[in-house]
Amino acid sequence: MRYAPAILVGRFVRFLARLRKPGGGSAVPGLVVNRLAPGYLPHALGAFPDGLVVVSGSSGKSTTTKMLVAVLRAHDRSVFTNPSTANIAQGLTSALLERADVRGRVPGDLAVLEMDEGHGARVTADLPPDVVVLTNVMVDQIDRFHDSEAVAGMLGRIASRATKSIVLNADDAYLVQVAAAAERGVVVERFGVSAEVLAAAPRGLGNARTAGERLAAGDGLRIVGLAGDVTTLELHGRAVDVRLPSRGIHYAVDAAAAVAGARAILGRDFDLDVAARAVSEMPAVFGRGERVTVRGTEVEFVLVQNPSSFQLNVDGIAPGTEQILFAMGSDVRDPSYFWPVDASGLGSVRVVSGSKAYEAALQLAYDGVEVGRVEPDLPTALDEFLALPVPEHGVKTIVFTADSMRRTRAHLGLAEAKEDA
Amino acid sequence: MTTLSVVSLFPSLLNVNGDAENGDVLAARARWAGLEAMHLRIEEVGALPVEPDVIVLGSGTDASAEAALERIAPLQDELRRWATEGVPILGVGTGMELLGWGIEFADGRTLEGLGIVPGRAVPREARVSDDLIVRSKHGLLVGYENHARDYVGAEGSPLGRVVRGSGNGRGSGQEGVVMGSVIGTHLHGPVLAKQPALADAMLAATAERRGVAYATGGPAAEADGYADRARAVILERLGVSGR
């Protein structure tokens, strides 16, 4: 009953938060519990009988986490996982409180946690994950992470907590260094693309530094084929086709990370066919190519999280798409790091919005994109954009950064994404 | 017709913040002014044009600085000559540091710079990552700085005075360095897109060397309008008067 008082307080705070913001999640209960009972988070996360998996990296961690959870559930495991919006300490504790009984225990065979690369090193300091899955090191949020070496260092610290295995992207030169530093007794499992798949990728993989060599057959889980939204994964000479939630090589890499991660935690219980089926049955991933009907019109949402996903997602928008709204919000402190992205593929953008609208419009103008109008006020921009007649070519497409995505969903009355489907 | 060649040097090593895209900005503005221009991203010294018209050196990571210096060192004489001949050169962050006397790293390592502009990069107590506003002869420069080193020794010829932010630090109240046509700054990313006046000064200088006239034109008005508003948003947030 050690944690019961803190849990009760946490629940009460959650109740108050719900009164203030009905239906909304809040990190405050977690903050309070972490303050009252700092030992609770590691205690609760260490209590899952089949262990703890931590997923981190610059990009793709949300998708990888969701895929990994789906694969584990398809193997009849009951899994606790955190919504991707709760990937720092207080959010994690809040997510645990959602499921915890009065003593703070959370049901489940194992836990799969998406971990922010910046906070992960500190959060994992007190908990020994059995398996750490690392997706990649990409240029992201320069103001926060400074440079790729700093990110690689943080991921290296998270990896160093793994007690059983580290699963990592063999095509990422920084992660190859992390692998080299792995302690003895910790198994390093690799996944990566074949030379053919890389050669066919118009923009490469988007890693800050792509490793010079590809994973050899037999050295891990390989992505040996990619056509549209179907990828072929190969493990020890066996190949399976996996349907991805959307087109794009980054989804194939996420799928490989998830399948390799599942294999690491499940050991002999792992079944490649079950894993392939589980990923193939996943719905389109939230916010990236998600289609919704708003005010009677079909709209596609495209989330830009970092330069790499910006580039890949822009490239993935059907050419000739006539109506695009581009919104950049306050989550982008300084947009400099987006400038290497070639946004010319957008062709023409009807409305540029968000608190960084003029910064975004500036880049679009230099990339030769025709900008219809700049309207920093997002609700106004959305209303105008949705009121435009149905486009003759393509679907109405809203490209946004995370902050603008939240504001868009709130304005359109769309529920917070069901993260834990 | 003369084609202006805008060169960014070693973007694979020196472009963590989108600094190399200043080359795109210069080439685009030159084209908008009716000139022919191309932006060359140079990774091998052998691929350099004989007489480049503008050179951009961006910022890299600490680990890449040494490799970047190795690649740029064979160009020391040419860079010196170009600088004395008035070829506009922009060094951002690490790029500026490499053009200077050298870099002292926090772990005690040092790198000898090219010595083309005065100044040495020395460790700061803590990294700075924030807005940087500078008053210069090109007007207010509005942008972002992200560096773990101060820059000392450039007190005689800075780019401007710091209005907000750290700049060269060490209590100098100054930012960057200017030596003839060479400009060094901590303002990273699309500094030239955000300050068209600075971009145009560089282009006018290089056009004059080629004996052609440069006058801002065409779509520049649209882009510069966005730049102006983007700057205004930042200045307003910081409570700095734009005049």
- Give the residue numbers spanning the domain of A303: 288-411
CA atoms in the 13 A half-sphere facing the CB of B197: 10
Average pLDDT over residues B189-206: 96
Query: Which of A68-82, A96-110, B71-85, B174-188 shows the lowest per-residue confidence on average (mean pLDDT)?
Result: A96-110
Task: Output DSSP code: residue A361.
Answer: H
For residue B55, the SS3 value is: strand
Q: Are A55 and A82 in contact (CB under 8 A)?
A: no
Q: Predicted ipTM?
A: 0.96
Using CA atoms in the order A174, A178, A181, A183, what is the torsion angle rounded to 10 degrees? -170
Same domain for A274 and A293: no
Same domain for A84 and A199: yes
| Measured distance CA(A278)–CA(A299) in Å, rounded | 27
8 Å CB contact of B144 and A336: yes
| Measured distance CA(A112)–CA(A149) in Å, rounded | 26
What percentage of residues in chain A have a pLDDT greater than 90? 51
Q: Is the pLDDT of residue B154 over 80?
A: yes
Same domain for A231 and A362: no
Same domain for A141 and A272: yes
Top residue of A209, A339, A351, A370 to mutate, by most chain B CBs within 10 Å, is: A339
Average pLDDT over residues A133-162: 82
Tally of residues, chain B: 243
Query: In this predicted model, what pLDDT tens digit does every residue of A343-358 receive, in sequence order?
Result: 998 999 999 999 999 9
8 Å CB contact of A362 and B144: no
**Interface residues on A facing B, Cβ-Cβ cutoff 8 A:** 139, 142-144, 146-149, 334-340, 355-356, 358-359, 361-363, 365-366, 371, 374, 376
| Measured distance CA(A270)–CA(A258) in Å, rounded | 12
Partner residue opposite B222 with nearest CB, options A144, A335, A365: A365
Order across the sheet with B177-179: list the strands. B36-42, B3-9, B54-57, B89-92, B182-185, B177-179
Which of A280, A309, A330 marks a domain boundary?
A280
8 Å CB contact of B17 and A371: no
Return the residue of B nearest to A148 by Cα.
Answer: B61
Same domain for A275 and A183: yes
Same domain for A355 and A276: no
Q: Is residue A419 part of a domain?
A: no
Q: Is residue A244 part of a domain?
A: yes
Classify the phi-psi angles of A256: left when phi > 0, otherwise alpha if psi is within -120 to 50, otherwise beta. Answer: alpha
Average pLDDT over residues A287-295: 76
Query: In this predicted model, what pLDDT tens digit does every residue of A362-385 receive, in sequence order?
Result: 999 999 999 999 999 999 999 999
CATH number of residue A264's parent domain: 3.40.1190.10
Helical pair B196-209 and B21-32, crossing angle rounded to 10 deg: 70
For residue A174, the SS3 value is: helix
Same domain for A309 and A274: no
Q: Are B160 and B176 in contact (CB under 8 A)?
A: yes
Q: What share of chain A is helix, strand, coil (3-state, %, to 5)?
A: 40, 20, 40
| Measured distance CA(A416)–CA(B16) in Å, rounded | 34
Q: Which residues contact A301 (CB under 8 A, 6 or more apart)?
A: A287, A288, A289, A290, A291, A292, A398, A400, A405, A408
Based on its alpha-carbon atoms, the radius of gyration of chain B, rounded to whole angstroms, reads: 17
- What total number of domains does chain A contain? 2
Q: Is residue A40 part of a domain?
A: yes
Q: Is residue A106 part of a domain?
A: yes
8 Å CB contact of B223 and A362: yes
| Measured distance CA(A268)–CA(A173) in Å, rounded | 30
Query: In this predicted model, what pLDDT tens digit does every residue of B70-103 receive, in sequence order?
Result: 999 999 999 999 999 999 999 999 999 999 999 9
Which of A227, A252, A280 marks a domain boundary?
A280
Query: In this predicted model, what pLDDT tens digit does every residue of A396-411 receive, in sequence order?
Result: 999 999 999 999 999 9
Same domain for A294 and A268: no
The confidence band for A421, taking pLDDT boundaries of 50, 70 and 90, is very low
8 Å CB contact of A359 and B15: no
Average pLDDT over residues B174-189: 97
Read off the tokens for B164. Answer: 């907000």
pLDDT of residue A286: 47
Of A191, A184, A244, nearest in space to A215 by CA: A191
Q: Are A205 and A249 in contact (CB under 8 A)?
A: yes
pLDDT of residue A95: 83
Same domain for A82 and A161: yes
CATH number of residue A397's parent domain: 3.90.190.20
Q: Are B52 and B41 in contact (CB under 8 A)?
A: no
Same domain for A379 and A232: no
Same domain for A207 and A139: yes
Which of A236, A260, A280 marks a domain boundary?
A280
| Helix (H) or strand (E) segment spanning residue B125 | strand B120-136
Q: Are A356 and A332 in contact (CB under 8 A)?
A: yes
| Measured distance CA(A103)–CA(A74) in Å, rounded | 29
What domains are there in chain B, each with its CATH number?
3-238 (3.40.50.880)
Of A131, A45, A119, nearest in space to A80 by CA: A45
| Measured distance CA(A150)–CA(A58) in Å, rounded | 11
Q: Is residue A391 part of a domain?
A: yes
| Helix (H) or strand (E) segment spanning residue B228 | helix B220-238
Q: Is residue A417 part of a domain?
A: no
Q: Is residue A420 part of a domain?
A: no
The confidence band for A121, taking pLDDT boundaries of 50, 70 and 90, is confident
For residue A343, the SS3 value is: helix
| Measured distance CA(A393)–CA(A412) in Å, rounded | 23
Q: Which residues pair with A95 in a beta bridge?
A: none
8 Å CB contact of B226 and A334: no
Q: Is residue A418 part of a domain?
A: no
8 Å CB contact of B146 and A146: yes
Q: Are B177 and B100 in contact (CB under 8 A)?
A: yes
Same domain for A230 and A180: yes
| Measured distance CA(A128)–CA(A130) in Å, rounded | 6
Helical pair B220-238 and B196-209, crossing angle rounded to 10 deg: 140
Give the other-Cβ count within 10 Å of B36's Cβ.
13
| Measured distance CA(B64)–CA(A152) in Å, rounded | 14
Return the residue of A nearest to B193 by Cα.
Answer: A362
